[in-house]
Structure 1
Amino acid sequence: MDFDLLLDEASPRETVVPLCLNGKLRAEYESVKARIDERATYADNDGRLDGDDRMANRTPKSDPDPEQSVLDELAEKMRAQTVPFKLVALDRQAWAELFSKHPPRRDKDGRRDPRDSIGVNSTDFFPALVQQSIAEPPMTGDRWEKLDKKLSDAQFNKLANAAWMLNQVEEDVPFLLSGSAATPI
């Protein structure tokens, strides 16, 4: 193992978080999917819904659902509206600076606000972490503000959790002391 070569090729951890930014398409997709799932769940072996003879003429289960093509079309439209956000871990100094810029809130008696149990003002820290972690597409101040106003809480949390995991959770390949591919047993 050439440590210097490994060091030269070292890079921070990265991950990609895909987000569909068109909420209307997402809602329409979920609605169609729910109808398909409901028909599949309640269909019996004859392809009819239990106790519902309105669907008695429906073809057997082996045939695709009549709305499957609609669902497929919506999925394709959603893919076109999905942005793959590439997040990169911060280096230790950038992480420490970001952490120190957002100290936990304190009440009038000096007690830490319960929302800030991880040691930072979580309301301010996580938006800054996400903005700083997104490498692609580039996040200028104006672009970030526009994106931040469009994200749902769930979408923002998906980005924030990914950024946190990149910086605080180690997921390296396990190292075996008893041997490795480079070290014969």
Structure 2
Amino acid sequence: MAAKTSAIADIIGQVKRPEKTVPICLAGDMQAEFEDLERDLAIARDKPAEGTLAGGSNPIATTIAQKIVELRERMREHTTVFRFRGLPRRAWSDLVAECPPAEGAEESGADVDWETFAVALVATCAVEPQMSVDEAGQLAEVLTQAQWDSLFTAAYSVNKRDVDVPFSYAASAVLQSSKKNSR
């Protein structure tokens, strides 16, 4: 007679820790170029095209729109997607213990040294690309605060936020639209 596994053993076997991805465009200088093109496009769209009837397409606007599409593709090529995975409860508490608050900071309610903890958490939770604590520290030095905050927030949230079944408004809208078109 085969041994029966418990319901808890079945549940434990199904556990997959939460994951989150964060895309970061590493060619941030292209953002200004994108903004300039967007402004140029708005101006070009407001002007009627020379030699066309009212409402005709403006070739200048079309050219600018194509430049925007090409720039977006170049920006995607310079985007790295970071993937983070949550830690088991014990690994989390061990990491917290490894980053105690600076002396005197306990009075302010700090339970960790946030500077060292953030770097250690990002490194420990990163599954793609993997990185050491030293590499995470180097990354923190070259990214903007907003980019670093995005990485830290993702690493923190896979550990301290609930996982629920998400709803996608975009997917729902596409499916509703396809239902209408198939009638």
TM-score by length of 1: 0.70
- Residue correspondence of structure 1 range 1-185 to structure 2 within 5 A: 3-36=8-41, 38-39=42-43, 47-48=46-47, 57=50, 60=55, 63=58, 64-107=61-104, 111-112=107-108, 117=109, 119-141=111-133, 143-173=135-165
Change (3 A) 1:61 1:161: farther
Instruction: In structure 2, list runs of 5 or more residues that go unmatched.
Output: 1-5, 167-183
Q: Is the 8 A contact 2:83 2:128 kept in 1?
A: yes
Shift of 1:25: 2.1
TM-score by length of 2: 0.70
Higher share of residues assigned helix: 2
Q: Is the 8 A contact 2:24 2:80 kept in 1?
A: yes
1:177 aligned residue: none
CA distance in 2: counterparts of 1:97 and 1:118, whole angstroms = 16
Instruction: In structure 1, list runs of 5 or more residues that go unmatched.
Output: 49-54, 175-185
CA distance in 1: counterparts of 2:19 and 2:85, whole angstroms = 4
Change (3 A) 1:62 1:172: same
Q: Following superposition, which runs of at least 4 residues in structure 1 exceed 6 angstroms of deviation?
A: none
Count of residue correspondences: 157
Change (3 A) 1:134 1:65: same
Which residue identity lines up with residue 14 of structure 1 in the other structure? E
